[in-house]
Amino acid sequence: MKPKTLHTLSRWLGLFSMLLAIPLWTLIVHISGLPKFILPAPVDVWTRFLKAWVDGSLLYHTGVTLLEIVLGLFVGVSFATIAGYALAKSRTLESILSPYLVASQAIPVVAIAPLLVIWLGGGIASKVVICALIVFFPVLVNTIVGVRAVSASHYDLMNSLHATRWQIIWKLELPASLPVLLGGLRIGATLSVIGAIVGELVDAEQGLGFLLQLGDFQYDTSMVFVAVFMLVFLALGLYGVVTLLERRFLKWQQ
């Protein structure tokens, strides 16, 4: 079977498994007999989704969270790429900063999120910083690995052609390390959703994290499910965007 056919088949299998989960969910609700505020049926969640969509609240809060995610992802990836390149080029700098970078990953972001909210306020700035912090480390590591994976023979070739520093970066190092960089971006894209929600759960009056808390406080479990599904949709969407970027910029690998 051709790879393209297998890829198409895997897509349909994924969609089929998602559709199969709906009747299974309905069956569990029916057999368990649990009340709606503990486990709502799929039809209840769909009804709540339509209500929130029609009154505009779901679209508004999703837009707020998406803005935080995009800004946090941009800031985190930008700083991680620059820092990763610098560390990849300097073993001394890596030796100095690595203990601090590794130690920073031992501290859960959720533990320092309240401090960031206190320092930066409850606005969008604290959410963007929290999101960027979560994205930073995996992209940083992938940048270091990608840049150092460039073959020495390729550098020799560029030097023999009298390439400038910028030409080596744009014509050699960036294309050669791009597969690893985009792999890190995949991870960062999904983690950015977590970062935005962590910030919103600490202190927010808008966003999907706010809807999660509101649904929890009001025992509106259907609203909680709606917010969770929207977060999954955002994560899948961002992951899909990175996948499209890989297909666009990594055609030469095929």
pLDDT at 254 (0 to 100):
57
Residues 200-226 have a mean pLDDT of 92
Given a cut of 70, whether residue 153 has pLDDT beyond it is: yes
What Cα–Cα distance (Å) separates residue 89 from each residue in 37, 85, 155, 199? 56, 6, 13, 34
Q: At the fourth CATH level, which superfamily is domain 41-249? A: MetI-like (1.10.3720.10)
What is the tens place of the pLDDT at every residue in 44-67?
A: 999 999 999 999 999 999 999 999
Phi, psi of 219 (to 5 degrees): 55, 30
Domain boundaries, the chain: 41-249
What is the tens place of the pLDDT at every residue in 172-202?
A: 898 888 889 998 899 999 999 999 999 999 8
CB under 8 Å, gap of 24 or more: what pairs does 232-236 form? 234/62, 234/65, 234/66, 234/69, 234/193, 235/189, 235/190, 235/193
The Cβ of residue 99 has, within 10 Å, a number of other Cβ atoms equal to 9
CA distance 91 to 94: 5
Most confident of 9-13, 98-102, 138-142: 138-142
What is the tens place of the pLDDT at every residue in 64-85?
A: 999 999 999 999 999 999 999 9
Average pLDDT score, the chain: 88
Residue 177's closest CA among 79, 88, 104? 88
What is the tens place of the pLDDT at every residue in 99-129?
A: 888 888 888 888 888 888 889 888 899 999 9
The Cβ of residue 121 has, within 10 Å, a number of other Cβ atoms equal to 11
pLDDT at 9 (0 to 100):
57
The Cβ of residue 14 has, within 10 Å, a number of other Cβ atoms equal to 10
Supply 213's token pair.
């808390």
pLDDT band per the 50, 70, 90 thresholds, residue 224 = very high
The Cβ of residue 206 has, within 10 Å, a number of other Cβ atoms equal to 16
pTM, full prediction: 0.89
